[in-house]
Structure 1
């Protein structure tokens, strides 16, 4: 019979302590505190053995003991440790553990940390589960919490990620609203002003993709008013060229403009995808003048 590992011995000790009926003189809170410490030791021992599911489960048991002992901060930390272990191949469990962490953090008014954890959830939905809708919701929630805590740069990064996802989900009005929000926050600061033309470019492409050339032109005028230097940028000229090609049903000019832009500023996946959608509409003769 194989001998038990150190982690398994610690886990059994922890289970025994958690399930023991304390004597007359031991308080239940000290029992849960001791059991929690043992579960934490077991979890770390499992991590050493690279048994990440078992490590996550042990941290989760620790978290439950911390809750029973009324230690909310320690419980939040234990759930977070559980999520980090679960991230090694168990994304659903990682999300559940992070959600538990957030419950404790928001109760304690620690919204900055709650936003960090919510952003992690968004990244897991995006990278592991490929669930764009849920990822988008998480990034927006994280962004709102960062805003409340005056962490505006981090909030903007989350809102920009959410805008990209809205566009991928073809929720163009919501995407435009988020891009404009991020641009408006970035305009006043010399440090972030340079990024505004990128947000307006994305917003402009969204308007074209929803077959609304009137809104696209109106927004372009609005951006030129907000920043007089915008009209001379490569981004503004690109949107204008795309708009004209679409309004004239001119596929050749459309492709020429895309090619030229790509020669100077390499198109990322997001832009490539939305431009392919616009191209397909053009080929179908489907971009109307609404």
Structure 2
């Protein structure tokens, strides 16, 4: 056992002794609350010592103990801070415990009216569900909550980042209508800003691909609508690719579809999301040619 870990356990033992003394009759008469404060400090120091020893689970538990004591003393801000500290440790050892701690912090922050902080931690939970404990539905739910809180606090840029994540995961979960609605809404909002206007073509492109997963006729109607909203979209490579893909779909030309995607990808690399959606569209042509 390393020095840091040993010191941490000594601090935990010291904290427990202080708490036992504060719970007794004489402890309550003579400085019970100060002993609790001393215990909190011991747990926090222990948490930091465990972090130094890379004992992440133990560090998380120590910060949780400190948070619980703060909560009992109605020190809401300190309790929330320690729950977040605990979550950051548990992220390295136990994703579910990390989520549990962040939810406790969120409950405190919303009760305090600190909605921006609550939003950030919903975002953190969503990121955990994307990577550490993969669950796209849970990730989507927390991104939606984060977006709602950010928007309520007029943090529109942060809200957009979260709602675009919702659209991304909705499409991956085959909820194309939801994804389309979000992409079209964000594109329309982007067109209102001279700084964000250029990004609208990406959102229209993503929405167009989602339409192709559902129905080509609606996709064509959507493209016509996008051009009315943003005439410059007609000159974009994204628009031209959508048109070529639709032609190959009409002709049931899978090879042509594949070549068009490869040509585009050779200049602008598709990420995993695009690859997944394009493969679904291609498969729909192969499996159900009459639907096109």
> Would the aligned equivalents of 1:53 and 1:90 in 2 still touch at CA under 8 Å?
yes
What SS class does the counterpart of residue 231 from structure 2 fall into? Answer: coil
Offset at residue 84 of structure 1 (A)? 0.6
Q: CA RMSD in A?
A: 1.9
Query: How much has 1:8 moved relative to structure 2?
Result: 0.7
C-alpha separation in 2, matches of 1:110 and 1:242: 47
C-alpha separation in 2, matches of 1:100 and 1:287: 52
Unaligned stretches of 5+ in structure 2? none
- How far apart are 1:152 and its partner, in Å? 1.0
Q: Does 1:112 align with 2:116?
A: yes
CA distance in 2, matches of 1:264, 1:5: 57
Q: Is 1:82–2:83 an aligned residue pair?
A: no
**Cα distance, 1:286 vs structure 2:** 4.3
CA distance in 1, matches of 2:128, 2:290: 35
| More helix per residue | 2
* Number of positions where the alignment pairs a residue of Structure 1 with one of Structure 2: 288
Q: Distance in 1 between matches of 2:36 and 2:289?
A: 65
Q: Against the structure 1 CA distance between its residues 287 and 173, is the aligned structure 2 distance closer, same or farther, given a 3 Å change threshold?
A: farther
2:158 equivalent in structure 1: 154
- Within the candidate set 161, 175, 181, 1:177 is matched to 181
3-state SS of the aligned residue for 1:190? coil
1:12 — aligned with what?
13
Is 1:131 matched with 2:140?
no
Does the C-alpha gap of structure 1 residues 250 and 110 become closer, same or farther in structure 2, counting only changes over 3 Å?
same
Shift of 1:32: 3.0
Match of 1:235 among 219, 233, 238: 238
Tell me by how many angstroms 1:248 deviates. 2.5
The change in CA–CA distance for 1:194 and 1:35 in structure 2 (over 3 A counts) is: same
Q: Residue 115 of structure 1: CA displacement?
A: 0.8
Partner of residue 258 from structure 1, selected from 261, 276, 286:
261
| Aligned with residue 272 of structure 1, among 255, 271, 275 | 275
Q: Any unmatched runs of 5+ in structure 1?
A: none
- Checking the alignment, whether the CA contact within 8 Å between 2:2 and 2:53 is kept in structure 1 is no
For the 8 Å contact 2:67–2:80, the answer to whether it is kept is yes
Query: How many Å apart are 1:26 and its aligned residue?
Result: 4.1
